[in-house]
Amino acid sequence: MTTASHELAQSPPRMTSRLDGELLEVSMGPQHPSTHGVFRMNVALDGEIVVKLKPVFGYLHRNHEKIGESTSYLGSMPYTDRLDYFCSMTNNWAYALSVEKLADIEVPERAEYLRVILAELTRLQNHASLLGFLLSDMGAWGTPLMYAFREREKILDLFESLSGSRMMCDYMRFGGCRVDAGPDWMERAKKVVDAFPRFLDEFEKLIVSNEILIVRTQEVGKMSAELAINAGITGPMLRACGVNYDLRKVDGYGVYPRFKFRVPLGDHGDCYDRLMMRALEMRESIGILKQAFEQLPAGPIMNPKVKLRAFRPPVGEAYGRIEGPKGELGFYLISDGSPNPYRYRVRPPSFINLTVLEDLCLGHTVADVMVILGSIDIVMGEVDR
């Protein structure tokens, strides 16, 4: 983009350069093995130190919100799978929650428990793959990534035998879930969850005792709690700064108030804390899953009063949000009584978490930019929609 690079070259640097040289502009461009999708950063460098950074995105913009306005409420459900394509179950849940708020639909208890089980499984596989990707970006050449993906494959096999598709599940409906999980699925899920702590122990050993990782992530990308709150950061990034704000506890949506789990908090707000946040959250998710498996009741999984076709919610608007693995995922729907929503808005956590990317990267080297970007945990499907 000529305008953006022109602007980078003209404006004065925020830090004084140590040598009398020019600034080097690098476009860490849309095709890059470590930028988690088509994401571009225009970086102005003074030697190796980042002096200015402007993120450029929109390469994956599909105008999902406009498609939502011309598709019925049910028809938008498969499109929500494709927003944050790693976590399709939680995307579905956030959308179903917003529509249930809009039209005041009740969800039966078994469906709520199934939703919690699938959301926590999604959180497990998302955090595992994020840690794998981050270690691979730092130069571990894919080995920890493959260990993480091995566990992720087990969870995706569970999703496949339940909903029919590994990633694009299209599983939640307004008023419940689409397919019931039989006892053999439950047995397999329990086996997967029981085998998970062994992987977590090995993985944490890789993180905690690896000196390269500690040196590269501690004191890198520090963020204060005030900046985090003001910039609308949510999810593990916010809790790494020490702010105790987890929507599962604050909003208490679904049946989360019935589960006992802790919310891990970080002290420093740097990359190492964000990594450890995700590792600790995985352990808490395993705890929630075990409790959910015990408490799962029998019963219907779908509210019988909800129509599948020609679903017309009453006139009004609603904003529903859940704690997705990346942060607060919210859907804002305005209905004018017709089968299509009047305004359909996704509040994307990755997009808003990127607001502080420049603040975090200033003063660090180019190599640290990749580590910081990896610890923010973005998925371009959600950033661009």
Whichever of 47 and 262 has its CB closer to other proteins, that residue is 262
Task: Choose which of 25, 26, 65, 365 interacts with other proteins (CB under 8 A).
Answer: 65
- Pairwise CA distance, residues 178 & 22, whole Å: 60
Residue 151 Cα distances to 34, 94, 155, 158, 219, angstroms? 22, 25, 7, 11, 30
> Under the criterion CB under 8 A, does residue 316 sit at the interface with other proteins?
yes
Q: Where does 209-306 have alpha helices with state H?
A: 211-217, 225-230, 236-240, 247-250, 271-295
Whichever of 11 and 295 has its CB closer to other proteins, that residue is 11
Structure-block tokens of residue 309: 């076709």
Closest CA to 305 of 294, 297, 313: 313
Whichever of 205 and 262 has its CB closer to other proteins, that residue is 205
Task: Choose which of 23, 38, 156, 206 interacts with other proteins (CB under 8 A).
Answer: 206
Burial of residue 293 (number of CB atoms within 10 Å: 0-12, 13-18, 19+): middle
Q: Where does this chain touch other proteins (CB under 8 A) — which range of 32-40, 42-50, 329-337, 372-380?
A: 329-337
Minimum distance between the CB of residue 59 and other proteins, rounded to whole angstroms?
9
Whichever of 20 and 211 has its CB closer to other proteins, that residue is 211
How many residues of this chain bind other proteins (CB under 8 A)? 75
Residue 69, phi then psi, degrees to nearest 5: -75, -25
Minimum distance between the CB of residue 45 and other proteins, rounded to whole angstroms?
20
Considering only residues 90 to 149 of the shown chain, the ones binding other proteins according to CB under 8 A are: 101-104, 143, 147
> Under the criterion CB under 8 A, does residue 153 sit at the interface with other proteins?
yes
> Under the criterion CB under 8 A, does residue 351 sit at the interface with other proteins?
yes
Whichever of 284 and 328 has its CB closer to other proteins, that residue is 328
> Under the criterion CB under 8 A, does residue 48 sit at the interface with other proteins?
no
SS3 call for 55: strand
| Chain mean position to CA 159 | 18
> Under the criterion CB under 8 A, does residue 377 sit at the interface with other proteins?
no
- Pairwise CA distance, residues 73 & 339, whole Å: 7
